[in-house]
Amino acid sequence: MDASLNAEELAFREEVRTFLREKLPKDIHARWLESGKIFPDRDDAVRWQKILHEKGWIAPNWPVEHGGPGWTATQKYIFALETASYGAPPVIPLGLGMVAPVIMKYGTDAQKAHFLPRILATDDYWCQGYSEPGSGSDLASLKTRAQKDGDDYVVNGSKIWTTHAQFADWMFCLVRTSDEPKRQMGITFLLIPMTTPGIEVRPIITLGGHHEVNQVFFDDVRVPQSNRVGPEGEGWTVAKYLLEFERGGNFASGRIALNMARLKRLAQTNGMAAEPDFRRKLAELEIKAETIAISELRMLSKLKTGDNPGVEASIIKLRGSEVNQDVTELAVEAAGLYALPFEQLEQAMGDNRAAVAQTEAEAGVAPRYFNYRANTIFGGTSEVQRGILAKASLGL
């Protein structure tokens, strides 16, 4: 990668590194490195995002007129790589990366004026109400219903796997406003304040031991019609546009580099790095990581010429999530007994945790292993990505 960076880009990379060293609060950094979660909790996320906002770096993909930094594709790549490999918490994509582009394209002038500055400053915290108990990959089968009543819609139904609904001020939500022969018709895109009476958020505790996802219930929840984005019944078009941002153009190798570095530290500390079989597995992972970096460079060259990310986006999502799973799996092997989740470790060893958890890396090994199982599910499952690749790339 170095070879293809010009002097300005190298200077930019240095600026990003210096900024991370100087401005990422040490406590947030340490918490994130140890946590093993998918996203940081709201307090840390908001504090860090406001620091990025102050610097003008919070929304790399936003157009300049809305507050984006006006970066080239290479600068965006450098920023993504550097922040992830340094171990900065990821920016929560739900507001900035997902609903904001939708509001820019389909929102009314009033919606743009109200929401976009608040999303940019992380004054509002968002969650995504797409999936339902019976509707995930087959999203168009969704059943949550919105009935018109005066100036409002009245919403009834349930959403599931809703990331950070417990923290959110707003949900962007797909609801069914009519029954049509084609299921994709009759869906509407609504913005729902989470404080509205009739909304109940129930936690789902994942195997990693964290509360990051929820089931959300709607019982006669009144939502003003002015909170609709796009025309009634045409929410599928809006929803698909949003999915392009959720699923497309993300880089994975920064996170892989962070996890690989963590794994190597762990293996060096406890002697596993000297085992020939373990070293072979590590080498195989390095090669896999390298192939992802190559796909990213291919995607970057498309983005540089203004093209869409194309099939590389699916390849990176598919392989990036799988390699990250492999890395976290090998970390469990490296940590052995010490990979046991913290509570179980305490039960097994008494409360003398300091004596058993040898390194910082071991602290999050098990939660990270469990949480990374979800990476091949959210944002389009691996099977769905393979379906896309079979059609788009292999012409099957």
Q: Which residue in the set 121, 140, 378, 388 belongs to the binding site for ligand FAD (CB under 6 A)?
A: 378
Q: Choose the stretch contacting ligand FAD; rule: CB under 6 A; options: 15-23, 47-55, 219-227, 378-386.
A: 378-386
The answer to whether 244 is a known catalytic residue is no
Q: Minimum distance from CB of 378 to ligand FAD (Å)?
A: 4
Does residue 120 belong to the site contacting ligand FAD (CB under 6 A)?
no
In the bound complex, which residue of the shown chain has the CB atom lying closest to ligand FAD?
Answer: 136
Of residues 50-109, which lie at the interface with ligand FAD (CB under 6 A)? none
Q: Is 24 in the site for ligand FAD (CB under 6 A)?
A: no
What the block records as the tokens of 313 is: 């986006």
Q: Which of 194, 217, 190, 213 is nearest to 203 (CA)?
A: 213
Between 129 and 249, whose beta carbon lies closer to ligand FAD?
Answer: 129
Q: How far is the CB of 155 from ligand FAD (least distance, A)?
A: 15
How far apart (Å, rounded) are the C-alpha atoms in residues 17 and 233?
A: 46
Give the binding range for ligand FAD (CB under 6 A) out of 23-31, 124-132, 175-183, 359-367. 124-132
Give the position of tokens 């080239």. 72
Say if CB 142 and CB 174 are below 8 A apart: yes
- Catalytic entry in 246, 329, 333, 346: 246
Pick from 130, 153, 172, 338 the residue near ligand FAD by CB under 6 A.
130
Per DSSP bridges, beta strands 126-129 and 170-176 are parallel
Options 35, 75, 122, 163; binder of ligand FAD; rule CB under 6 A: 163
Helices and strands (DSSP H and E) totals, the chain: 16, 8
Q: Is 340 in the site for ligand FAD (CB under 6 A)?
A: no
Question: Total residues contacting ligand FAD (rule CB under 6 A)?
Answer: 19
Site membership for ligand FAD, residue 175 (CB under 6 A): no
Stretch that binds ligand FAD, among 96-104, 131-139, 249-257, 330-338 (CB under 6 A): 131-139
Kindly state whether residue 136 participates in binding ligand FAD, applying the rule CB under 6 A: yes
State the DSSP H helix or E strand holding residue 384, giving kind and residue range, or none if neither.
Answer: helix 382-392
The region, left, alpha or beta by phi > 0 then psi within -120 to 50, assigned to residue 395 is left
Does residue 141 touch ligand FAD according to CB under 6 A? no
Q: How far apart are the first and last CA of the chain?
A: 33
Q: Least CB distance from residue 311 to ligand FAD, whole Å? A: 17
Closest CA to 60 of 76, 77, 43, 84: 76
Angle between helices 73-86 and 7-23 (to 10 degrees): 40
Q: Which residues pair with 229 in a beta bridge?
A: 189
Contacts (Cβ under 8 Å, ≥6 apart) of 155: 144, 145, 146, 173, 175, 190, 192, 198, 218, 220, 221, 222, 223
Give the nearer residue to ligand FAD in terms of CB position, either 99 or 374: 374
Q: Is 383 in the site for ligand FAD (CB under 6 A)?
A: yes
Catalytic residue positions, numbered:
246
- Which residues lie near ligand FAD (CB under 6 A)? 38, 127-131, 136-137, 161-163, 213, 374, 377-378, 381, 383-384, 387
